[in-house]
Structure 1
Amino acid sequence: MPLDLYITSVTSFRETKAQQNEMMRILDTRGVTYKTVDISVDKCLLEEMREKCGNPSAVPPQLFLGNKYLGGYPELMDAVEDGEADKFLEGQK
């Protein structure tokens, strides 16, 4: 099952774009199968992402395996720095 990476293609925040790009780079270099879900296409997708996160103010990028919330940029980066990225990504390749 591919991971779902919630992103936004419409943002004025360089930090958001950089975080999204870095998460995609990490997933790509590890050979992880994922699909992007662009919340800017439909407001319902933002609400869906926030509901799945359990956080009414969550913003992209956010990563899921089905309905299971894996985390956002800080969580993935912590896992990478700790050498636990594969465990974090649940071995999805």
Structure 2
Amino acid sequence: MSLTVYVSSVSSSTELKKHQQKITMVLDGKRIPYTIADIASSEDAKHEMKTAAGADSLPPQIVNDGIYCGDFFAFDEAVESETLNEFLRLS
């Protein structure tokens, strides 16, 4: 498993920052290993995110082993409905 969370360290949007923070907080709390890919500092990461999630996608986006899982809203819904493992393709 290679879970990647695509984020942007450069944003004036407090909503975006809160979404990114919630994802990392939940994953840390559940002890789910992941890596952060900052699209603001890596063109490769930006290209990977846009390839997986679509050209118009904005961070945060989640990918597991190259398979697109979803954005913050899909993640949040999976947490609320207790289907996070399925959403992240962990089970």
Residues 27, 36 of structure 1: CA spacing in aligned structure 2 closer, same or farther, 3 A cutoff? Answer: same
Residue type of the alignment partner of 1:29 = G
1:26 alignment partner in structure 2: 26
1:88 alignment partner in structure 2: 87
TM-score, length-scaled by structure 2: 0.91
2-structure distance, mates of 1:73, 1:61: 6
Structure 1 runs (4+) greater than 4 angstroms displaced:
none
1-structure distance, mates of 2:44, 2:4: 16
RMSD: 1.3
Q: Tell me, which stretches of 5 or more residues in structure 1 are unaligned?
A: none
2:67 alignment partner in structure 1: 68
2-structure distance, mates of 1:76, 1:46: 20
1:35 alignment partner in structure 2: 35
2-structure distance, mates of 1:9, 1:40: 6
TM-score, length-scaled by structure 1: 0.90
Q: CA shift at 1:59, angstroms?
A: 0.7
2-structure distance, mates of 1:79, 1:22: 13
Q: CA shift at 1:45, angstroms?
A: 2.2
Fraction of identical pairs, as percent: 29
Asked if the contact 2:7/2:36 (under 8 Å) is kept, the reply is yes
| Pairs aligned (count) | 91
Q: CA shift at 1:24, angstroms?
A: 0.3
Residue type of the alignment partner of 2:85 = D
Residue type of the alignment partner of 1:69 = Y
1-structure distance, mates of 2:16, 2:89: 24
Asked if the contact 2:6/2:49 (under 8 Å) is kept, the reply is yes
